[in-house]
Amino acid sequence: MNSKELRSTFLDFFADRGHKIWPSSSLIPHGDPTLLLTNSGMVPFKKYFLRELIADNPRAVSCQKCFRTNDIDSVGDPGHLTFFEMLGNFSFGDYFKKEAINWAWEFVTVTLKLPEDRLWITIYKDDDEAFAYWRTLDVPASRIVRLGESTNFWGPAGDSGPCGPCSEIHYDFGFQPGCDHAECLPGCDCGRYSEIWNLVFNQFYQDKEGRRTPLAKPGIDTGMGLERVLCILQGKRTVYETDLFVPLIEKAAALSGQRYGSDEQTDNALRIVAEHSRGIPFLIADGVLPANEGRGYVLRRLLRRAAIHGRKIGMNKLFLTDTAPLTIQYLGDIYPELMQKRDFILKVISVEEDKFNETIITGLELVDAIIDTREVKESKLIPGVDVFRLYDTYGFPPELTSEIAGTRGIRVELDGFKQEMEKQREKARAGQRFGLADKGTNIAALLGINDTQFTGSKQARDNTRLIGIVVDDSLSDSISEGQEATLILESTPFYGEMGGQVGDTGKIIGTQGTFSVTATIRMPPGIIAHKGKVLSGVLSAGENILAEVDSERRLDIARNHTATHLLQAALRLVLGEHIQQRGSLVAPDRLRFDFSHLVPMSADDIKMTNQLVNDMIRKNLPVYDEEMPYQQAIESGAVAIFDEKYSDVVRVLRVGMPPVSAELCGGTHVHASGEVACFHIVAESSIGTSLRRIEAVTGRGAERYFEDRLNALSRIADYLESEPDRVLEKASSFVQELKESKKRILSLERELALTNAKNMLAGVQVVKNVNLIAGRMPPVRVEILREVADWLCDQVKSVVIVLGTVYDDKPLFLAVVTPDLVAKKYHAGDIVRQVARVTGGSGGGKPNLAQAGGKDKTKLDEALKLVKGLI
């Protein structure tokens, strides 16, 4: 049975038993902030186990892409994988232990025909119920092993979630390999037993503190390692000999000119290249890009680890763009995202590999140099600061440094490294504190509220009540003219800054006074706070007020917000579906949109994006919202922001019918796209690796922008005594003239300098057997001084030359020493520094060539006189 057959046989077996076949979900667990990467088949189903969502069919089966990061450093040995596929059947409050056990046994013994006498069972130590079910299947009691919490209690995935006792099926390879020990049983790590299937009886929810509460309805979560089972079915010793890996191993072997199976070290490197060539394309396909933290760092580690180990066995050229396509080729029909994003995946790989290739040599040399220092040789330990420097400056992951050092018997100080990292993070954090936000919870407690209801998504004013006045971080009964404060209202039409959209401004009008709101922010847990100053009169806590948002400004913001959505939709059409929003700013006068993309946008891309957005504006499409469960929103295709934590019920904002854009969003928008009026990109730039930023204007902002530009153009035209549409012609003729005059001046300077040099040649001095030319040149630039010095060297062959001039009203020196005199320790840099010092200047350079500037031009001749004494 090959891998494809195993996948479909498993899915069909459970589909025949009433299970819905679910496609694999992303490696990025969307909406699950507890987890870095999907590490098990049950991850996408957490909400169903917890009954936060109810599935149409309580039985599910899937083949899920999984990634485990804890073993990255062990990959290379025959047994560890980062990326793998997990086959699993699930019950959300439907069937329980009996069916799970019966079906698992039937699948392995009848469908896969694994010999029963090779199978062992483990159960949780006091799970007599599971024991009894296995016994009814005639599994001998002697082959059912009771184990403890560490192996037979599973979960949660991440820091919280469903979990429960489990029962595993193990395959016994016999005594070879193995420890040959009489008591060797499943659970022994000698390699004799392979755990092939884990049946988890989900009974509890475990919170972040480790407290367990029973689930309303227990469920089943099983996970079978596709690669491991395949290995058994194909009668192989390791997964690397199965059809999933053979093409990759062969490719890596061919590229390196090595043979798999010839020696252990080479095999190790080949396995690393093959293994990482699977994980890398899968991570990128799901939206991970190389970065220095989080998921991006995992990807970067794989890329770099593969590059380094490949290099060790002779893969000196970039090779991951040759190996990764095999993964796409062999698994692209099962995981279509690989095919869809093929070009993008390969582009990311080649950019990152190429970049790393440049630093790899320096980095490797540096690690070697550090290891060769006396301290490290003696202590056999690389200090944390050095590990950090390698990471921070050269992009060497600490794990790699540790691996390379390990081959030479040296350890690295990882604790010290972590401390350095923490120091850096602390620095970054220190800049981010946000005034009142920290105190929000306090204020909420004082006022006895949790959140403020926002009433402003469709209106800009509201009659409500002033419930809290905060002055200097404490509550106050009233405030009067001129006083600054933060006001909390019972409900508010003011939008508090969030999701990139800036907060509203406006007025809060009481019976005896008016307050001007200059900023609206959010404070934890969910309070909207209005900051500003009393314009006139007095405001008192508890009074009824009228809250009025500056609606012109609000409309400017709304235009920019809706335009941001249209922009994202247009970018997906122009650049591809891979782009992901990474940040945004929606202000009244402009908008900013940050997104993941590898290369700068071309002028054509920008033009097309502008056109697409303006087309959508001109069509005057309706803008409307709808609330729905998060999962449903995502399934309907709404775009969510990467890494953002959403509540269970979300607001989906759509533009157009059928929609041209659908995004999860809580911000304020126009009613129809036509209100945006006009959109124009004013800048596109890089803000980091694979991160681009677009700045754009709409509506009044665009009008102002065009007006300013046209005015500037008219002014330039006037200045050049031309017309706006002829200004380019005129300007280029000026530039041409300028270039020619510069050329003329340069050749005049050159002529002048050469005449002077010829005179100098007549006056070569000999000091201590060294030829010396030191003299003043007419005012020429430093390039000319160099040309002259070269010419003089050609004439004299062995000489020290120091030339001085006054150019642009400043003294300037150049010193040249011919190689034979450099060998005698004459140093142009030292000479010129000392000479320039006389004129109050500084400078220096190499032994053969150096230059320096000064301040006091009247001291030039005096300075040149010094030269003789320096020989």
- Which residues would be at the binding site for ligand SER (CB under 6 A)? 40-42, 88, 154, 198, 200, 221-223
Nearer to ligand SER among residue 161 and residue 513 (C-beta):
161
φ, ψ for residue 135 (rounded to 5)? -65, -35
Per DSSP, the chain holds a count of helices (H) and strands (E) of 27, 34
The Cα–Cα gap between 678 and 695 comes to 14
We find the least distance from the C-beta atom of residue 71 to ligand SER, in angstroms, to be: 14
- Tokens standing for residue 238: 């390791």
The Cα angle at residue 116 between residues 114 and 118, in degrees rounded to 5:
80
- Tokens standing for residue 328: 């796409």
In Å, the largest CA–CA distance within the chain is 113
- CA 103, chain centre distance (Å): 42
We find the least distance from the C-beta atom of residue 200 to ligand SER, in angstroms, to be: 5
Nearer to ligand SER among residue 88 and residue 811 (C-beta):
88
We find the least distance from the C-beta atom of residue 662 to ligand SER, in angstroms, to be: 32
The Cα–Cα gap between 761 and 793 comes to 10
We find the least distance from the C-beta atom of residue 88 to ligand SER, in angstroms, to be: 5
- Helices 3-15, 226-233: axis angle to 10 degrees equals 110
We find the least distance from the C-beta atom of residue 46 to ligand SER, in angstroms, to be: 11
- Neighbouring residues of 471: CB distance < 8 A, sequence distance ≥ 6: 479, 483, 484, 485, 486
Nearer to ligand SER among residue 154 and residue 705 (C-beta):
154
φ, ψ for residue 782 (rounded to 5)? -65, -35
Nearer to ligand SER among residue 68 and residue 700 (C-beta):
68
DSSP assignment of 397-424 = -HHHHHHHHHTTT-EE-HHHHHHHHHHH
Paired residues of 468 in beta bridges: 488
In three-state secondary structure terms, 597 is coil
The Cα–Cα gap between 38 and 30 comes to 9
C-beta separation of 696 from 591 below 8 A: yes
We find the least distance from the C-beta atom of residue 57 to ligand SER, in angstroms, to be: 19
C-beta separation of 465 from 542 below 8 A: yes
Minimal CB distance to ligand SER: which residue? 223
We find the least distance from the C-beta atom of residue 410 to ligand SER, in angstroms, to be: 36
The Cα–Cα gap between 245 and 235 comes to 14
- Tokens standing for residue 435: 């005034």
DSSP assignment of 44-108 = GGHHHHTTSS--SSSEEEEEEEEE--TTGGGBTBTT--SEEEEEEEEESSS--HHHHHHHHHHII
We find the least distance from the C-beta atom of residue 42 to ligand SER, in angstroms, to be: 5
DSSP assignment of 1-37 = --HHHHHHHHHHHHHTTTPEEEPP--SS-TT-TT-SS
The Cα–Cα gap between 843 and 853 comes to 6
The Cα–Cα gap between 9 and 281 comes to 26
DSSP assignment of 793-815 = HHHHSS-EEEEEEEETTEEEEEE
We find the least distance from the C-beta atom of residue 20 to ligand SER, in angstroms, to be: 17
Nearer to ligand SER among residue 200 and residue 280 (C-beta):
200
We find the least distance from the C-beta atom of residue 27 to ligand SER, in angstroms, to be: 15
C-beta separation of 656 from 616 below 8 A: yes
We find the least distance from the C-beta atom of residue 202 to ligand SER, in angstroms, to be: 9
What is the length of the chain?
871
Nearer to ligand SER among residue 104 and residue 574 (C-beta):
104
Nearer to ligand SER among residue 45 and residue 335 (C-beta):
45
Q: Which of 678, 676, 667 is nearest to 458 (CA)?
A: 667
- Neighbouring residues of 794: CB distance < 8 A, sequence distance ≥ 6: none
Nearer to ligand SER among residue 100 and residue 792 (C-beta):
100
We find the least distance from the C-beta atom of residue 40 to ligand SER, in angstroms, to be: 3
Nearer to ligand SER among residue 90 and residue 454 (C-beta):
90
Residue 869, burial from CB neighbour count under 10 angstroms (0-12, 13-18, 19+): exposed
We find the least distance from the C-beta atom of residue 193 to ligand SER, in angstroms, to be: 16
We find the least distance from the C-beta atom of residue 394 to ligand SER, in angstroms, to be: 36
C-beta separation of 320 from 277 below 8 A: yes
Nearer to ligand SER among residue 154 and residue 205 (C-beta):
154
C-beta separation of 830 from 846 below 8 A: no
Nearer to ligand SER among residue 172 and residue 221 (C-beta):
221
We find the least distance from the C-beta atom of residue 146 to ligand SER, in angstroms, to be: 18
The Cα–Cα gap between 659 and 619 comes to 12
Nearer to ligand SER among residue 39 and residue 401 (C-beta):
39
We find the least distance from the C-beta atom of residue 285 to ligand SER, in angstroms, to be: 22
Nearer to ligand SER among residue 151 and residue 476 (C-beta):
151
Paired residues of 696 in beta bridges: 591, 681
Nearer to ligand SER among residue 64 and residue 661 (C-beta):
64
Distance linking the first and last C-alpha atoms of the chain:
86
- Neighbouring residues of 552: CB distance < 8 A, sequence distance ≥ 6: none
The Cα–Cα gap between 40 and 279 comes to 15
Nearer to ligand SER among residue 195 and residue 386 (C-beta):
195
Nearer to ligand SER among residue 198 and residue 452 (C-beta):
198
